[in-house]
Amino acid sequence: MSPVSVVGVSHLTAPVEIRERFAFAPAEAEAALGRLRTESEVQEAVLLSTCNRTELYVCPAGNERVKEAAERVLSDKAGEVVGGTKQYLYHHEGEASVRHLYRVAGGLDSLVLGEAEIQGQVRDAYELAGQSSTRPSLAGPILHRLFQSALSVGGRIRSTTPIGEGAASVASVAVELARKIFGGLEGRQVMILGAGSTAELVVGALARDGIRGLVVSNRTYERASELASRLSGRAVHFDEMPFELAKTDILIASTAAPHPLVTGDGFRQARGSGRRGPLLILDLAIPRDVEAEVGNEPNVFLYNVDHLHEILDDNLLKRRSSVPEAEAIVEEYARDFLHWYGARSVVPVIRSLRGRWDDVRRGELDRLLRKLSHLSADDRDLVEAFSKQLLNKLLHDPTRRLKQGAGNGRAVEFIDAVRYLHDLETVEADSSEGLELDDAQAMEVEDAETVEVEDTGTTDG
């Protein structure tokens, strides 16, 4: 029995120039979900779209038309692709789809192992499916439960394993190192030399750390100005850089210059004799932008890209070592979800079973009471209460074991056996009815049985 299926594309199946064609803005995602509800047999859907993946989770699973509808949504967004879009898509059904989402939420399927941003993106996708003023929620009882548990998986993995510890890119390592040296970056003067892709990554890492007001110096002033504006900073021309260096706490260099831009003599002249505070220099350029002798100056901490890669390798080693522990958490939550889903699917047959034998109880009780017409009204009530309690006792263990068996993945087998052994009328599309029940309804039978059996136990003597 398949609770959910997923169709998607990710960094594992497609290069960035293909992935970007599948990317949905929030308004586009909401419109696509609305079309799924009105134009297909999809009952529930959540669309997750990030820079590294686009995935559509749908219910009911195991339905070819639902699968085709999900594929169509993604293919329509991507448009014409040489060789077709299906070559980049992957599919997971049932248990595999549950584990896949849990691994995604836990950062185990990410381009950067253990990255934390994906958990918020999973939450945003789930909330988008549930919030709309123009259509019913597409995050119904199955996907509601699935995504809530996925967020719990991600939270537990990050709180109990080291998978998210330590920066996982050179840019983030640089910012983390600055934070460790200064104990916090608020109020620190940051200057960036260069405005290329590495500088962009550094600016992104600084933005996540709350930095505002940095200085960017680049040979192309317009490019420096555009990059600085992202953090409410300012641009300076290269010939002004030495004057800014005297006021700088953190210098991050990442130009493509063929020779050092900060020499030993030039640094000493720019710094002067008045500066006494620490200066962190992170030279991310190859060839290097800063001469090695600058690192010998008092209160100067100079790191080049090799130093940062050593730190990065240590961080990634720690992350990779925690994968088995994280995978065990995924398995634990997957078992719990599949047990819950399996138990839901047997609720209709349990109701049929109880209804079938309650009809027998009432028929036999009527015949008995006709023969015992001399009984008082109170005595007749006692006999009827006894018949109900006896039926509850007789059905309690079979229904409990039926739910246990269904939760272990044997729902169809057990349901067919119960129908045959108890001569139940076929309940049309039992699994579909189970999907329509909300959580409260799914637990109704279990709660009622527990109370009634416990009450019986008090009069058992």
Give 66's contacts (C-beta < 8 A, 6+ positions apart). Answer: 5, 40, 41, 42, 58, 59, 60
Catalytic site positions: 51
